[in-house]
Amino acid sequence: MKSLPKLTIAGVMMACAQNAYAAELEISIQNLTQGVYFTPLLITAHSSDAHLFELAQPASMELQAMAEGGSLDGLMTVVDGAGANSVANPAGGLLAPAQATSAMLSTTHGNTQLSVVGMILPSNDGFVGLDSWTIPSEPGTYHVYLKAYDAGTEANDEIRGGGAPGTSGMPVPPPLESVIGTGGSGVAMSQNNMTVHIHPGSIGDDDSTGGKSDLNNTVHRWLNPVAKLTVTVQ
């Protein structure tokens, strides 16, 4: 029996290795909150040495831009440079309370980890996130409940305004304009934990023209988890 040339054997091994990491994924994300919106989401499959964020570590400038203003531009540059497979803004805008969005994602070249991020509105620097979840190798449907994280880059004053990194206050998009109050004095004026951490949640109050917060405590308060991720591996 003739042996295969070494170059052919190496090529077969490389092809098998790449195929072992390839997957066709159907991904759905549902907003589980009553009155909170998600900005355009980023869903990305990447290698095991890459992260969009890490708990107890300072947020990158790209993560800060997403968590404070909803911009995915910087994070998209990072994941594209890392050879990730990504879907940005599958909902075509904000993902409203109780609504879901879905997308297909093909993974290749050792991109075995799945991450998701999107800003929580209204918030100062809160975001829904999933950090480097290992994509199952067996076909099937898998469910993961996603928590809300605080980027640690801005005080949670719960006052309308802001949107740009380093600018205090919460951005208020049109769907929230009529339900966000004014005149709040501020819930927290400093940030003690300046690393990425579990978000403490919103406080709010029942004073739409004053009080400490511009958030309505019967609409904008929430508890973890804030989203449900469903991944179908085909």
Write the DSSP symbol of residue 84: -
Rg over alpha carbons for the chain, rounded to the nearest Å, is 20
Q: Are strands 197-198 and 227-233 parallel, antiparallel or unpaired?
A: unpaired
Q: What are phi and psi of 232, to 5 degrees?
A: -105, 115
> CA-to-CA distance for 132 and 119, rounded, in angstroms?
18
> CA-to-CA distance for 33 and 140, rounded, in angstroms?
27
Tens of pLDDT, residues 11-70:
333 333 444 458 899 999 999 999 999 999 999 999 999 999 999 999 999 999 999 999
> CA-to-CA distance for 116 and 31, rounded, in angstroms?
13
Query: Residue 154: CB partners within 8 Å, gap ≥ 6?
Result: 68, 124, 125, 162, 166, 168, 191
CB 31, CB 98: distance < 8 Å: yes
Mean of the per-residue pLDDT values of the chain: 91
Query: Number of C-alpha atoms within 13 angstroms, CB side, residue 168?
Result: 12
> CA-to-CA distance for 138 and 212, rounded, in angstroms?
50
> CA-to-CA distance for 201 and 148, rounded, in angstroms?
8
Q: Look-up: residue for tokens 């989203």?
A: 227
Q: How many CB atoms lie within 10 A of CB 183?
A: 12
CB 87, CB 27: distance < 8 Å: yes
Q: Would you say the pTM of this structure is higher than 0.75?
A: yes
Tens of pLDDT, residues 121-160:
999 999 999 999 999 999 999 999 999 999 999 999 999 9
Mean pLDDT of all residues in 194-199 = 98
For the chain, list the domains and their CATH numbers.
21-158+193-201+221-233 (2.60.40.2130)
Q: What confidence category does residue 163 fall into, taking pLDDT thresholds of 50, 70 and 90? A: confident
C-alpha 22, offset from chain centre: 23
Note the residue count of the chain.
234
> CA-to-CA distance for 20 and 25, rounded, in angstroms?
14
The residue type at 10 = A
Name residue 107's beta-bridge partners: 23
Q: Which of 133, 159, 166, 168 is nearest to 213 (CA)?
A: 159
